[in-house]
Amino acid sequence: MQSTPAAWADADVYLADTLVGHDPALEAALGAQQAAGLPHIEVAPVAGKLLNLIARMSGARRVLEIGTLGGYSTIWLARAVGEGGSVITVEAESRNAAIARASIDAAGVGERVDIRVGRAADVLPTLVGGFDLVFIDADKESNTIYLDWAARLGHAGTVVVLDNIGREGEIVRDDSTDPMVVGTRDALRMLGDDPRFDATALQTVGIKGWDGVALALVV
Ligand code: DHB
Ligand code: MG
């Protein structure tokens, strides 16, 4: 096989078909998101399930998500925390939040999910800490602010997942002026240097092209 974006996508679809399967609530959430014209940049199905498994493996009961979009990853996380658990998800766009609210409710996990509308840099200082898992998937320019709040609102043992750390390999460009690349590089440097975190990152290929995810533990 040639390592091409089309082959990565085919293999990703195969893995999702084999390991994730048909999921009406999640597919409905994606349909609603698409019908509303939101960008198709939610996590891939295999990545959504990875989030769900990481949350369950770590026993997370209180989850913070930064960047709700249409609620696709929120549903994966809300399922993971179980009936007594909770997810606070922060979304800057009220229209996105309304679409997410409907999809999350339709998925049957609405009572576990609190959507806070506003810019995360404004909302995060208003939250009470104690989160067991923080998923950061919002504007990449603000990633270091979000990591700082993840540490402040977490505790020793909190799991932090940061999306989109590969950026088609642009992360190696120390002269990049792309704010998303600069924000991602700054976040990776912080994860490497800040003593509050112990971190690694994995590149991914699949239906979203060449990207990746960082995983950190608050120590
Ligand atoms: C973008 C943002 C994302 O969170 C993502 O997963 C893919 C792309 C973007 O803004 O380009
Ligand atoms: Mg993302």
3-state secondary structure 110-144: HHHEEEEECCHHHHHHHCCCCCCEEEECCCHHHHH
Atom 4 (ligand 1) nearest CA = 137
Look at residue 108 in the predicted model and tell me its pLDDT. 98
DSSP structure string for 32-62? HHHHTT--S-SPPHHHHHHHHHHHHHTT--E
**Ligand closest to the CA atom of residue 141:** 1
Long-range contacts for 198-205 (Cβ within 8 Å, ≥24 apart)? 199/160, 201/165, 203/165, 203/166, 204/47, 204/166, 205/3, 205/5, 205/8, 205/12
Residue whose structure tokens are 């949350």: 55
Tell me the longest C-alpha to C-alpha distance in the chain.
51
Indicate whether residue 215 lines ligand 1 (CB < 6 A).
no
Indicate whether residue 137 lines ligand 1 (CB < 6 A).
yes
Look at residue 12 in the predicted model and tell me its pLDDT. 98
**Ligand closest to the CA atom of residue 209:** 1
Mutate to test the pocket of ligand 1, among 38, 163, 164 (most ligand atoms within 8 A of CB): 164
Q: Which residues of the chain have pLDDT under 70?
A: none
**Ligand closest to the CA atom of residue 139:** 1
Distance separating alpha carbons of residues 81 and 93, to the nearest angstrom: 25
Q: What SS3 state is found at 98? A: helix
CATH class of 5-218: alpha beta
Atom 6 (ligand 1) nearest CA = 41
- What is the whole-number distance in angstroms between the Cα of residue 182 and the centre of ligand 1? 14
124-168 pLDDT, tens digit each: 999 999 999 999 999 999 999 999 999 999 999 999 999 999 989
- What is the whole-number distance in angstroms between the Cα of residue 70 and the centre of ligand 2? 12
Amino acid (one-letter) located at 22: H
Domain chopping of the chain, boundaries:
5-218
Q: Which of ligand 1's atoms lies nearest the C-alpha of 67? A: 4
Euclidean distance between the first and final Cα of the chain, in Å?
42
Indicate whether residue 139 lines ligand 1 (CB < 6 A).
no
